[in-house]
């Protein structure tokens, strides 16, 4: 993770960091072997920097944390899920352009 604003979420801290967050949270479900995940990573860093203070941005490594992806029905990666008030607002599967991420985040701001 290049941006210091991107948080590492795990099965252990997910409820505290995401579900109980006071601000919307964008979660990137990814894996080290996933080429589209690597392609979208710089975009996730950019979004984390641009929306700092308004949206929390973080990543869940699906190989290291299997309970959370299963709970939210993550079948393909990258999957980006937007949470607000502890509930899923929307999600995107696959590497997408920044304009699509901005539109997704606008739903929670």
Which CATH number is 65's domain given? 3.40.30.10
Extended beta strands in the chain, E state: 6-9, 25-30, 56-61, 79-84, 87-93
Specify the pLDDT at position 3: 82
The answer to whether residue 95 is domain-embedded is: yes
The answer to whether residue 1 is domain-embedded is: no
CB 72 within 8 A of CB 46: no
Specify the pLDDT at position 68: 97
Task: Say which of 37, 41, 81, 95 is annotated catalytic.
Answer: 37
Taking 50 as the pLDDT cut, the residues of the chain under it are none
Specify the pLDDT at position 20: 98
CA distance linking residue 10 with residue 67, whole number of Å: 9
Structural domain of 29: 6-106
The answer to whether residue 32 is domain-embedded is: yes
The answer to whether residue 23 is domain-embedded is: yes
pLDDT tens column, 30-59: 999 999 999 999 999 999 999 999 999 999
The answer to whether residue 91 is domain-embedded is: yes
| Annotated catalytic residue 34 | yes
Specify the pLDDT at position 2: 67
The answer to whether residue 24 is domain-embedded is: yes
Q: How many domains does the chain have?
A: 1
| Annotated catalytic residue 37 | yes
Task: Say which of 6, 7, 34, 41 is annotated catalytic.
Answer: 34
């Amino acid at each position: 993770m290049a941006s210091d604003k991107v948080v590492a979420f795990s099965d252990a801290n997910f409820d505290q960091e995401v579900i109980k967050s006071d601000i919307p949270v964008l979660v990137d479900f990814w894996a080290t072997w996933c080429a589209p995940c690597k392609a979208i990573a710089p975009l996730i860093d950019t979004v984390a920097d641009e929306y700092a203070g308004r949206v929390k941005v973080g990543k869940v490594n699906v190989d290291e944390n299997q309970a959370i992806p299963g709970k939210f029905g993550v079948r393909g990666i990258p999957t980006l899920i937007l949470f607000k008030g502890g509930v899923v607002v929307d999600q995107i599967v696959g590497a997408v352009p920044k304009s699509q991420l901005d539109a997704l985040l606008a739903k929670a701001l």
